[in-house]
Amino acid sequence: MLKQRIITALILAPLMVGGIFFLPIEQFAYFIGFIVTVAAWEWANLAGYTSQPVRFGYAALVAISVALVAYFGQQFEGLSTVILSVGAAWWLFACFLIMQYPQKVALWQAKPVRALMGFLVLVPMWVGFMTLKGQEYSSLIIVYVMLLIWGADTGAYFAGKTWGKAKLAPSVSPGKSWAGFWGGLATTGIIAVIFLLSINYWLRPVTANDFMILVIITAITAVISVMGDLLESMMKRHRGIKDSSQLLPGHGGVLDRIDSMASAVTVFAFLMVLLGWQLAA
């Protein structure tokens, strides 16, 4: 299993890095769109649809939705902001569902509702990526968000392993603890400070306002990234499955790799637009 995980990671990491740094925005849109479409095929299973024709049909609907957003986004200024707002609002509501599991399961256990949840997770994620890609120094911004996600996960793992007694959401994911949550948040804070110091040294002066805004965005994004992981865990627990699929040997499915990313990218992009933060001077 460990060998499979390492081999898969060695293949996926260069693909993701190459996509972020070297693809122009149009090709990047297709790249992220492909990831979203595969994740939608997996989400159909989480929603309770096991027939392959239905799953492929659901993935096609999500892909068409992304294509329509791309087309109409060029016609109507502000559409991306609306979708990011809806996505951010969804993740706030998802926090409620996660913390109330299994008491409030009746709100979302119907297959069509779970299918709708997939649209609310995946389409705003694509819009979030495209919003970040459209910024000056986009690669640095996207890498920063990736570092936040990985940092939160790594910090949570070690803090949880060392001090994790009180459980964060025992009904959803018994392995997650409050110590892990705070450890992950502290790690992202350190990453934010290092990032800002690096920007101040290499790129442009960082003002106190820059510092405060990015710290706020970082803290909220770190919290919501945990919710992305927990939401998928909740869906899998309800379905009685361990992984979203077996597409990635040793890692499960695509959704198992991007669950935190889906929430973090959406919320980071929304807050960046809302608070008017940008990396360029």
- The one-character DSSP state at 110 is S
d(CA 183, CA 41): 33
Per-residue model confidence as pLDDT tens digits over 21-54: 889 999 999 999 999 999 999 999 999 999 999 9
More confident residue, 274 or 160: 274
Contact by Cβ (8 Å): 159, 226: no
d(CA 253, CA 249): 8
Q: How confident is the model at residue 2 (pLDDT cuts 50, 70, 90)?
A: very low
Cα 272-192-269 angle, rounded to 5 deg:
20
Q: Which two tokens stand for residue 77?
A: 């200024």
**Statement: residue 5 has pLDDT above 70:** no
- The one-character DSSP state at 104 is T
How many alpha carbons lie under 13 Å from residue 45 in its C-beta half-sphere? Answer: 18
d(CA 31, CA 27): 6
Per-residue model confidence as pLDDT tens digits over 249-259: 766 788 988 88
Q: Alpha carbon of 268 to those of 23, 40, 84, 111: distances in Å?
A: 21, 22, 10, 29
Least confident of 10-19, 94-103, 121-130, 241-250: 10-19
Neighbouring CB atoms inside 10 A of 235's CB total: 24
**Statement: residue 132 has pLDDT above 70:** yes
169 by DSSP, 3-state: which? strand
Per-residue model confidence as pLDDT tens digits over 212-246: 999 999 999 999 999 999 999 999 999 999 888 88
Q: Alpha carbon of 77 to those of 71, 101, 119, 123: distances in Å?
A: 11, 38, 21, 17
**What pLDDT shows up at residue 142?**
93
CA 233 to chain centre: 14
Domain boundaries, the chain: 2-275
**What pLDDT shows up at residue 10?**
61
Least confident of 154-168, 176-190, 244-258, 262-276: 244-258
**Statement: residue 192 has pLDDT above 50:** yes
d(CA 250, CA 6): 8
Q: Which range, 207-211, 243-247, 266-270, has the best average confidence (pLDDT)?
A: 266-270
**Statement: residue 199 has pLDDT above 70:** yes
Question: What mean pLDDT value characterizes the chain?
Answer: 90
Determine what percent of the chain is predicted with pLDDT higher than 90.
69
